[in-house]
């Protein structure tokens, strides 16, 4: 599509027109229009206490800002709390919005929610979209968002309203260009829609804007299909639900095709970045025979040979039951989780960083890396040396890991056949990569609602004069009227990588928001492991079908979201209620026995929390893969 076509009215199909009529739901606090109560909580810190000082030094202006919640106003007009306010006046504001990340279903609804909230506050407010992503931001290439512009993009997939490009605002030149644009356009706010990298860049931009007294407030929105922007404040990301539903339908179709023919093993790789959230969710929805998660491999330090043998053992076990078909699901980040492959990729990345050409990289590898590189099939060798992504990482979507595993498994099964260890039929495979197929899908009702709500929250953040925050919602597993809306400092989500594990670990690198891996002690992972044997042998395939927009299945949410207890803001409310009760009981004049008992109890709690707050390597799973 030509850049001039972005944002143009388009002819919609019957389905698209029906979807455009869907009105996303809002939680009660956002239904109050201009009378939303803004409550300022405690100052925030980072998840890793060892990183707090480092993050504070790197982001002195935006570190330690308060957690902010948006609530329904009191029934009376008087707000008694000193840390809460209802913003009464809403002068006209100008806000810019930019897509800075891979296409993710629901992104358009963030813009729609922002527009509706702005016009509700003041009809003279102006929302400008940057055409062409971050490149459009640098070049001041804008499109004013209006009702007519939005009419073709409400509840629609893709990012074609504005488009996207390099997905980074990192270099001095880029930051200066973004700052110049915001100043020249007199923007009160800049909303950056994207994943971990884009929101890390948003934090850096917010810090520099604050340092230079630029009035533009920078806001991040968690929109990424991979679901890896996940922490105590962010339960899931916009687009994850839709992408998993689409991929699960495709996987279930493949499962039924496999059992129908009875002679092929399907190797399916799923897009999702370095973490395996998409693969885990799709496995729980579709029940393939085998799923290999990158986090399991990384923690167990499984080599390429060991992974191959595990798959072959599964093939043999099924053959003993007379089954010569199956479906294996892997994440695209699996290749980086294999120890020897990770080391090779890192060496290649270093050569890229030193401006070594793709043609010269093989000759510049160390002896061990060169030996591994030579062992790999030629198609993998070509893909490994492709130029890096915008965040200087390998192009995981271009590395055909599923074909590599199918190639190695076939070789191993042929070897076992020759040695007389395997007496079944000849192994045959079919490979698929499910990537871009899901990115442009019409978003599910959940993603439509979630994105629209986040857009509204962005406007409240700007109205409250907050800079360097992310719009967030918790208690997403519940109905929309019970969602909790908040603004969380981006710096609170940052950490620094650790070179070693344990108390002697040394933080290295700059603070950023890191992709969150699957927690191998979480309930959702436990469910998968509990069902692993049944999945492998029983062909316990599940057919979720296509995304339902109306009817009984329209309100379904990700399984990994619904079975976890993640309402962080709700837990903070519970804690605050207990602390308030303690303060009431321990007012001066209480008995000495009550005072002594409270000191003893609080001292014990302090010791426990101090122990639990000891630094962990938060990048690695905590439990071994059995």
Q: Is pLDDT at 394 greater than 80 in this prediction?
A: no
Task: Identify whether 382 is part of a domain.
Answer: yes
Task: Identify whether 510 is part of a domain.
Answer: no
Task: Identify whether 78 is part of a domain.
Answer: no
Separation CA 325–CA 320 (nearest Å) = 12
Separation CA 106–CA 359 (nearest Å) = 40
Task: Identify whether 612 is part of a domain.
Answer: no
Phi, psi of 493 (to 5 degrees): -95, 0
Digit-coded pLDDT (tens) for 36-85: 899 999 999 997 777 889 999 999 999 999 999 999 886 544 444 446 78
Q: Does residue 200 sit in the same domain as residue 271?
A: no
Q: 197 and 391 in contact (C-beta within 8 Å)?
A: yes
Q: Is pLDDT at 572 greater than 90 in this prediction?
A: no
Q: Tell me, what's the pLDDT at 620? A: 37
Half-sphere exposure of 619 (CA within 13 A, CB side): 18
Q: Is pLDDT at 584 greater than 50 in this prediction?
A: yes
DSSP β-bridge partners for residue 328: 267, 290
Tokens of residue 54, six digits: 């480092």
Alpha-carbon 158 to chain mean position: 17
Q: In what order do the strands lie in the sheet with 37-43?
A: 84-86, 37-43, 66-71, 484-489, 469-474, 217-222, 189-194, 94-99, 126-130, 142-144
Q: Does residue 487 sit in the same domain as residue 424?
A: no
Q: Tell me, what's the pLDDT at 390? A: 60
Q: How many residues does the chain have?
A: 626
Q: Tell me, what's the pLDDT at 502? A: 39
Instruction: Name the strand (E) or helix (H) holding 171.
Output: none
Separation CA 444–CA 557 (nearest Å) = 9
Digit-coded pLDDT (tens) for 587-606: 888 888 888 888 888 888 88
- The more confident residue out of 221 and 359 is 221
Q: Does residue 465 sit in the same domain as residue 393?
A: no
Q: Does residue 426 sit in the same domain as residue 542?
A: yes
Percent of the chain clearing pLDDT 70 (strictly above): 92
Digit-coded pLDDT (tens) for 128-169: 999 999 999 999 999 999 999 999 999 999 999 999 887 788
Q: Does residue 307 sit in the same domain as residue 199?
A: no
Task: Identify whether 619 is part of a domain.
Answer: no
Task: Identify whether 585 is part of a domain.
Answer: yes
Alpha-carbon 195 to chain mean position: 6
Q: Tell me, what's the pLDDT at 224? A: 95
Tokens of residue 190, six digits: 């800049």
DSSP of 368-429, one letter per residue? HHHHHHHHS-HHHHHHHTSPP-TTS---GGGS-HHHHHHHHHHHHHHHHHHTTS--SPPP-E
Q: Identify the three-state secondary structure at position 160.
A: coil
Digit-coded pLDDT (tens) for 372-382: 999 999 999 99
User: Could you tell me which of 33, 56, 17 has the C-alpha nearest to residue 496?
Assistant: 56
Phi, psi of 522 (to 5 degrees): -75, 160
Across the range 90-111, mean pLDDT stands at 95
Separation CA 89–CA 94 (nearest Å) = 15
Burial of 546 (0-12, 13-18, 19+ CB in 10 A): exposed
DSSP β-bridge partners for residue 219: 191, 469
The mean-pLDDT minimum among 7-11, 303-307, 473-477, 598-602 falls in 7-11
Across the range 97-118, mean pLDDT stands at 95
Q: Does residue 20 sit in the same domain as residue 167?
A: yes
Q: 259 and 228 in contact (C-beta within 8 Å)?
A: no
Separation CA 529–CA 524 (nearest Å) = 9
Half-sphere exposure of 199 (CA within 13 A, CB side): 29
Burial of 405 (0-12, 13-18, 19+ CB in 10 A): buried
Pairing assessment for the beta strands 66-71 and 484-489 based on DSSP bridges: antiparallel
pLDDT band at 477 (very low <50, low <70, confident <90, very high): very high
Across the range 255-262, mean pLDDT stands at 96
User: Could you tell me which of 104, 291, 133, 221 has the C-alpha nearest to residue 471?
Assistant: 221
CA dihedral 503, 505, 507, 508 (to 10 degrees): 180
Q: Does residue 466 sit in the same domain as residue 376?
A: no
Q: Is pLDDT at 170 greater than 50 in this prediction?
A: yes
Q: Is pLDDT at 625 greater than 70 in this prediction?
A: no
Q: Does residue 235 sit in the same domain as residue 277?
A: no
Q: Of 529, 548, 564, which marks where a domain is finished?
A: 564
Phi-psi domain of 478 (left: phi exceeds 0; alpha: psi -120 through 50; beta: other) = beta
Digit-coded pLDDT (tens) for 272-298: 888 999 999 999 999 999 999 999 999
Q: Tell me, what's the pLDDT at 558? A: 96
* Cα 294-295-299 angle, rounded to 5 deg: 120
The mean-pLDDT minimum among 89-98, 330-339, 389-398 falls in 389-398
Q: Does residue 301 sit in the same domain as residue 392?
A: yes
Q: Tell me, what's the pLDDT at 218? A: 98
pTM (2 d.p.)? 0.90
The mean-pLDDT minimum among 72-86, 95-109, 279-293, 474-488 falls in 72-86
Tokens of residue 204, six digits: 């850096």
Scanning the structure block, which residue is given the tokens 């609080």?
602
Q: Does residue 375 sit in the same domain as residue 260?
A: yes
Task: Identify whether 516 is part of a domain.
Answer: no
pLDDT band at 306 (very low <50, low <70, confident <90, very high): very high
Q: Tell me, what's the pLDDT at 575? A: 87
Q: Radius of gyration of the chain from Cα atoms?
A: 26
User: What CATH code is carried by the domain that includes residue 366?
Assistant: 3.40.50.460
Highest mean pLDDT among 335-349, 351-365, 444-458: 444-458
Q: Does residue 14 sit in the same domain as residue 117?
A: yes
Q: Identify the three-state secondary structure at position 25.
A: coil
Across the range 238-266, mean pLDDT stands at 96
Tokens of residue 240, six digits: 């994850």
Q: 431 and 327 in contact (C-beta within 8 Å)?
A: no
Separation CA 416–CA 413 (nearest Å) = 5
| pLDDT mean across residues, the chain | 89
Digit-coded pLDDT (tens) for 492-542: 999 987 544 434 444 557 899 999 999 999 999 999 999 999 999 999 999
Q: Is pLDDT at 316 greater than 80 in this prediction?
A: yes
Across the range 300-315, mean pLDDT stands at 96
Across the range 232-237, mean pLDDT stands at 95
Tokens of residue 528, six digits: 């998968």
Q: Does residue 301 sit in the same domain as residue 400?
A: yes
Tokens of residue 96, six digits: 């810019």
3-state secondary structure 427-481: CCEEEEEECHHHHCCCCCHHHHHHHHHHHHHHHHHHHCCCCCEEEEEECCCCCHH
pLDDT band at 334 (very low <50, low <70, confident <90, very high): very high
Across the range 26-33, mean pLDDT stands at 88
Residue range(s) defining the domain that contains residue 585? 568-607
Separation CA 445–CA 460 (nearest Å) = 23
For residues 319-344, one letter each, b for 16 or more C-beta atoms within 10 angstroms of the residue's C-beta and e for the rest, the string is: beeebbbbbbbbbbbbbbbbeebeeb
Task: Identify whether 82 is part of a domain.
Answer: no
Q: 101 and 195 in contact (C-beta within 8 Å)?
A: yes
Question: Structurally, how many domains does the chain consist of?
Answer: 3
Q: Is pLDDT at 550 greater than 50 in this prediction?
A: yes
pLDDT band at 490 (very low <50, low <70, confident <90, very high): very high
pLDDT band at 617 (very low <50, low <70, confident <90, very high): very low
User: What CATH code is carried by the domain that includes residue 8?
Assistant: 3.40.50.450
Q: Is pLDDT at 2 greater than 70 in this prediction?
A: no
For residues 296-312, one letter each, b for 16 or more C-beta atoms within 10 angstroms of the residue's C-beta and e for the rest, the string is: bbbbbebebeebbbebb
Q: 493 and 231 in contact (C-beta within 8 Å)?
A: yes
- Strands (E) across 210-366 are located at 217-222, 265-270, 290-291, 326-331
Phi-psi domain of 442 (left: phi exceeds 0; alpha: psi -120 through 50; beta: other) = beta
Q: Of 542, 564, 586, which marks where a domain is finished?
A: 564
Q: Identify the three-state secondary structure at position 617.
A: coil
- Cβ atoms < 10 Å from Cβ of 13: 8
Q: Tell me, what's the pLDDT at 391? A: 60
DSSP state of 332: T
């Amino acid at each position: 599509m030509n850049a001039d076509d972005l944002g143009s009215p388009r002819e919609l199909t019957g389905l698209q027109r029906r979807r455009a009529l869907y009105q996303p739901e809002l939680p009660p606090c956002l239904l109050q229009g201009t009378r939303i109560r803004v409550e300022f909580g405690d100052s925030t810190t980072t998840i890793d206490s060892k990183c707090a000082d480092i993050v504070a030094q790197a982001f002195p202006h935006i570190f330690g800002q308060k957690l902010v919640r948006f609530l329904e106003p009191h029934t009376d007009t008087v707000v008694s709390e000193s840390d809460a306010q209802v913003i009464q006046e809403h002068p006209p504001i100008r806000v810019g919005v930019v897509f800075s990340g891979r296409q993710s279903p629901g992104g358009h609804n963030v813009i729609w929610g922002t527009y509706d909230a702005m016009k509700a506050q003041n009809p003279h407010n102006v929302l400008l979209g940057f055409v062409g992503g971050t490149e459009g931001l640098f070049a001041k290439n804008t499109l004013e968002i209006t009702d007519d512009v939005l009419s073709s993009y409400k509840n629609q997939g893709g990012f074609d309203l504005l488009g996207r490009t390099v997905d980074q605002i990192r270099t001095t030149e880029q930051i200066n260009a973004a700052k110049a644009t915001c100043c020249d356009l007199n923007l009160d706010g800049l909303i950056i829609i994207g994943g971990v990298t884009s929101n890390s860049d948003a934090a850096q931009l917010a810090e520099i804007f604050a340092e230079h007294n630029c009035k533009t407030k920078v806001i991040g929105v968690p929109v990424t299909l991979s679901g890896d922007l996940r922490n105590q404040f962010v339960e899931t990301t916009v687009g994850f639900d839709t992408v998993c539903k689409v991929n699960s339908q495709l996987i279930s179709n493949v499962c039924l095709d496999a059992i129908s023919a009875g002679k092929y093993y399907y190797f399916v790789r799923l897009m999702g970045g370095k973490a395996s959230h998409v693969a885990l969710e799709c496995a729980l929805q579709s029940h393939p025979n085998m799923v290999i998660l990158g986090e399991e491999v990384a923690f167990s330090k499984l080599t390429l040979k060991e992974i191959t043998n595990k798959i072959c053992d599964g093939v043999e076990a099924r053959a003993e039951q007379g089954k010569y078909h199956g479906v294996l699901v892997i994440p695209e980040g699996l290749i980086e989780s294999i120890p020897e492959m990770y080391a090779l990729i890192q060496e290649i990345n270093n050569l890229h960083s030193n401006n070594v050409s793709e043609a010269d990289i093989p000759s510049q590898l160390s002896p061990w890396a060169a030996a591994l590189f030579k062992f790999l099939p030629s198609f993998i060798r070509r893909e490994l040396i492709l130029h890096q992504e915008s965040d200087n990482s390998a192009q995981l979507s271009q590395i055909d890991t599923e074909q590599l595993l199918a190639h190695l498994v076939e070789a191993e099964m042929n070897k076992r056949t020759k040695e007389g260890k395997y007496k079944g039929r000849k192994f045959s495979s079919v490979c698929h990569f499910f990537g871009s197929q899901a990115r442009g899908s019409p978003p599910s009702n959940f993603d439509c609602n979630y994105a629209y709500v986040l857009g509204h929250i962005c406007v409240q953040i700007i109205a409250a004069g907050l800079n360097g925050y992310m719009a967030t919602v918790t208690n997403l597993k519940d109905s929309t009227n019970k969602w909790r809306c908040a603004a969380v400092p981006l710096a609170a989500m940052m950490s620094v990588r650790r070179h070693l594990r344990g108390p002697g670990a040394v933080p290295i690198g700059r603070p950023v928001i890191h992709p969150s891996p699957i927690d191998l002690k979480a309930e959702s992972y436990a469910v998968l492991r509990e069902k692993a044997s049944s999945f492998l042998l029983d062909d316990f395939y599940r057919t979720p079908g296509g995304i339902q927009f109306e009817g009984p299945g329209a309100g379904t949410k990700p399984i990994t979201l619904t079975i976890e207890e993640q309402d962080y803001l709700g837990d903070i409310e519970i804690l605050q209620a207990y602390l308030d009760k303690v303060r009431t009981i321990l007012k001066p004049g209480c008995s000495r026995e009550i005072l002594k008992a409270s000191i003893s109890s609080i001292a014990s709690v302090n010791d426990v929390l101090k122990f639990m707050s000891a630094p962990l390597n938060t990048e690695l799973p905590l439990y071994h893969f059995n």
